[in-house]
């Protein structure tokens, strides 16, 4: 009987998600499947190393009047353009956005799969890579500005580009999943690489730590954080949205992502949905957070965010 109840709960949750995103996609086009599971991006990397998540990096895509800004997906530490965005890549494509994703900060000189692990190099180097990628997207699409959706380190690193490398005038909306504006007291490389360990790739041990130039920069009190925070982390011409989870086990405390400002919305998932169990990694594949992201990208057409939790699919 308990198994039947669990199945009914999962079905109800999936129906809630379907209702949230009903009407997505271009007319006449079959929508891409959207897995609400962060680790769903690992398998495609194993089968297509260096590929792009479905729905991203179509360099023929042209923004529509409804969605004039291309969306740049900026992964977290140990992620890449494919592993981090199994949910958001197809979701945004179905919604009619031109979505692009890069891998930054990877040690490409090393053999795969280590070369597939992004966010390892110092933030300054990664920010320069982001800037070059954004310029390529703007040139290809003809857009004037982009919207950023970042996860973990991908919420902080772009600020270096915005503040110091000329990115301020190229960004409209800056949306952060599990941000760390105040740094963290518990950046653990081993934890950040857990997705690869779960997939059977033995690249998550302490030997990897010296390869992560960005890890120490994200610790509270670091020189890099002091530089980023000097004069404020926000730019007045950009609209910011911070989405946090109380269950964050890597950004500690989770409130490190809470930063007030006149052009900022701070969202703690559990303040809206008591049934949400998203942690630091799963927030990037969690439907409630995704609903808030879609609302932040298109604030003129908000939609209700049902409080549903899709349990991980095992087997």
Three-class SS state of 71: strand
99 touches 89 (CB < 8 A): yes
> What is the predicted pLDDT for the residue at 210?
62
pLDDT digits (tens, 9 = 90+) for 214-237: 999 999 999 999 999 999 999 999
**127 pLDDT tier (thresholds 50, 70, 90):** very high
Given this model, what pLDDT does residue 248 score? Answer: 94
Beta strand spans in the chain (E): 71-74, 99-102, 146-151, 171-177, 239-244, 264-268
The confidence score (pLDDT) of residue 302 equals 82
Cis peptide before 253 (omega within 30 of 0): yes
* 264 within 8 A of 240, measured Cβ to Cβ: yes
The reported pLDDT for the residue numbered 29 is 67
Confidence of residue 74 (pLDDT cuts 50, 70, 90): very high
Q: Which residue has the higher pLDDT, 45 or 205?
A: 45
Q: Which band of pLDDT confidence, cut at 50, 70 and 90, is reported for residue 211?
A: confident
Distance CA 190, CA 196 (A): 10
Residue 10 pLDDT exceeds 70: no
- 3-state SS, 80-131, equals CCCCCCCCHHHHHHHCCCCEEEECCCCCCCCCCCHHHCCCCCCHHHHHHHHH
Note the Cα 58 to chain centre separation in Å.
19
Query: To 5 degrees, how large is the angle CA 193–CA 194–CA 196?
Result: 75
Tens-digit pLDDT profile for residues 79-118: 999 999 999 999 999 999 999 999 999 998 899 889 999 9
Q: Chain-centre distance of CA 48, in angstroms? A: 21
pLDDT tens per residue, range 257-294: 999 999 999 999 988 876 566 899 999 999 999 999 99
Residues 72, 29 contacting (CB under 8 angstroms) = no
E strand or H helix that includes residue 157: helix 153-164
């Amino acid at each position: 009987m308990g198994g039947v109840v669990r199945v009914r709960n999962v079905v109800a949750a999936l129906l809630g998600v379907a209702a949230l995103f009903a009407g997505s996609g271009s007319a006449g086009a079959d929508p891409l499947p959207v897995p609400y599971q962060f680790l769903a991006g690992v398998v495609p990397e194993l089968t297509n190393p260096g590929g792009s998540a479905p729905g991203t990096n179509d360099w023929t895509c042209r923004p529509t009047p409804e969605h004039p800004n291309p969306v740049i997906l900026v992964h977290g530490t140990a992620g890449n353009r494919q592993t981090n965005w199994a949910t958001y890549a197809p979701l945004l494509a179905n919604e009619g956005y031109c979505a692009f994703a890069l891998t930054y900060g990877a040690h490409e000189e090393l053999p795969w799969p280590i070369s597939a692990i992004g966010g390892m190099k110092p933030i300054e180097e990664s920010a320069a890579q982001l800037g070059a990628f954004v310029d390529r997207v703007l040139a290809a699409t003809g857009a004037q500005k982009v919207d950023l959706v970042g996860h973990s380190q991908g919420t902080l690193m772009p600020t270096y580009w915005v503040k110091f490398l000329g990115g301020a005038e190229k960004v409209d909306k800056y949306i952060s999943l599990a941000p760390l504006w105040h740094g963290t007291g518990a950046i653990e490389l081993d934890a950040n690489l857990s997705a690869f360990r779960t997939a059977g790739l033995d690249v998550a041990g302490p030997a990897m730590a010296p390869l992560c130039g960005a890890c120490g920069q994200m610790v509270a009190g670091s020189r890099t954080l002091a530089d980023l925070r000097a004069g404020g982390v926000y730019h007045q011409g950009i609209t910011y949205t911070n989405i946090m989870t109380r269950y964050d086990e890597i950004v500690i405390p989770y409130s490190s992502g809470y930063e007030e400002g006149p052009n900022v919305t701070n969202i703690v998932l559990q303040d809206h949905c008591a049934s949400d169990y998203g942690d630091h990694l799963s927030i990037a594949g969690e439907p409630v957070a995704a609903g808030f992201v879609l609302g932040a990208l298109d604030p003129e057409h908000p939609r209700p965010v049902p409080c549903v939790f899709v349990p991980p699919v095992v087997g």
